[in-house]
Amino acid sequence: MQPLRDGVVDLETGVIEALTASELRVQVLFRDRYVGVVRSQHPLSQEAITTASYAAGKHIFVSRAGLDEGPIDEALRSLGLKRKIVIIVSGFLTALGLVRGSDLIASVPERHTANLRQGMFSFPLPVSTAQFTVSFLWHPRLGADPSHRWLRKRVIGICAKPT
């Protein structure tokens, strides 16, 4: 949120339900859910994926806040399982880049990363997690700026298209 406040970033997308940034403006874009993704020749791409085989792999965890667990870990824990997180990164693009060239597993938002996952093997998670809302934020100082209004309108239009 600080880059928006400082004017370093004009528009930021993400899941903001748990954040408190009352001075920022928020626009909901779409609902999403997590999917698993591995490189196209990963062993998981060659077999039926079970909760146990998913949990047994080496995972990348995406956290901008420095967390080391999330809703997937809670769902696995309720089944008596734990996944091995071997690296934590701050963004989905980084996670997908690492997955593309390794045997690591990433769990990423399905719609938010659709184009980035092309050529990779994606699969429904073998555990149930709640959907979440992807929104974008901007600082109020840009609210009336014509260029920024134009950009926000385009982003909303793109996100309104069905996938």
pTM recorded for the entire structure: 0.81
Give residues with Cβ within 8 angstroms of 161, minimum separation 6: none
97 and 151 housed in the same domain: no
pLDDT at 15: 75
Give the CATH number, domain containing residue 146.
3.40.190.10
Adjacent-strand bridge partners of 62: 89
Q: List per-block mean pLDDT (blocks of 10 residues) for the chain, which spans 163 residues.
A: 83 71 84 95 94 96 85 96 95 95 96 93 95 90 92 90 70
Within the chain, where are the H helices?
2-6, 51-56, 71-78, 92-100, 146-160
Rounded Cα distance, 97 and 133, in Å = 24
Q: Are 135 and 4 in contact (CB under 8 A)?
A: no
What is the residue range of 152's domain? 2-31+133-160
Q: How many CB atoms lie within 10 A of CB 137?
A: 18
User: DSSP code of 2?
Assistant: H
The answer to whether residue 128 is domain-embedded is no
Helix, coil or strand: residue 124? strand
The answer to whether residue 127 is domain-embedded is no
pLDDT at 160: 83
44 and 111 housed in the same domain: yes
pLDDT at 46: 93
pLDDT at 44: 94
